[in-house]
């Protein structure tokens, strides 16, 4: 099977419409307009956030990755700063064609440019497809966490 080719570029204002649509596919509980607002905020802090979008050679969006440079404790890591994958998405028609691997390769390069020696990510416990994808991309599972909260009563 011949491997398709894709172009990986930084996201920017020109790619906002496609980027927002891809984000809405990954995080459907947020509206496209809310995603656009998030994108503006992310673009204002290039020293902390990075976003890359993949297109096939016909110019069709194929996926994206978003990263954050974190200096706080990141579960399962031993260094600081750590580049954290906030989101990785490949469109359904482009899956299993190497898009995620290319996006992750670019993410790793950004992380190294920022002085990171580790790249971290997370996934919901029940999201086994994400677990498989992470493993295929070279990630190792480090721990599982269940978060709790308690709403405080006002006196």
Quote the CA–CA distance of 68 and 79 in Å, as a whole number: 15
Residue of higher predicted confidence among 4 and 7: 7
19-40 in b/e burial notation, b at 16+ Cβ within 10 A?
A: bbebbbeeeeeeeeeebeebbe
Is CATH 3.40.630.30 correct for 6-136?
A: yes
Residue 122 pLDDT class (50, 70, 90 cuts): very high
Query: How confident is the model over 130-152, as a mean pLDDT?
Result: 93
What pLDDT is stored for residue 77 in this prediction? 94
Sign of CA dihedral 79, 81, 83, 84: positive
Total-model pTM = 0.90
Domain ranges of the chain: 6-136
Quote the CA–CA distance of 17 and 33 in Å, as a whole number: 10
Residue 36 pLDDT class (50, 70, 90 cuts): confident
């Amino acid at each position: 099977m011949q491997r398709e080719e894709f172009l990986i570029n930084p996201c920017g204002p020109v790619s906002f419409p496609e980027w927002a649509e891809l984000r809405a596919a990954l995080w459907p509980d947020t509206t496209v307009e809310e995603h656009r607002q998030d994108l503006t905020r992310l673009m204002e802090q290039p020293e902390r956030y990075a976003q890359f979008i993949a297109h096939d050679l016909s110019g069709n969006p194929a996926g994206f990755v978003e990263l954050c440079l974190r200096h706080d404790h990141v579960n399962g890591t031993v260094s600081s700063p750590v580049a954290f994958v906030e989101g990785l998405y490949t469109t359904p028609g482009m899956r299993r064609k190497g898009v995620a691997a290319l996006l992750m390769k670019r993410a790793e390069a950004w992380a190294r440019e920022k002085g990171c020696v580790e790249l971290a990510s997370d996934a919901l416990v029940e999201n086994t497809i994400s677990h498989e994808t992470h493993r295929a991309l070279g990630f190792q599972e480090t721990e599982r966490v269940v978060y709790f909260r308690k709403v405080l009563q006002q006196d």
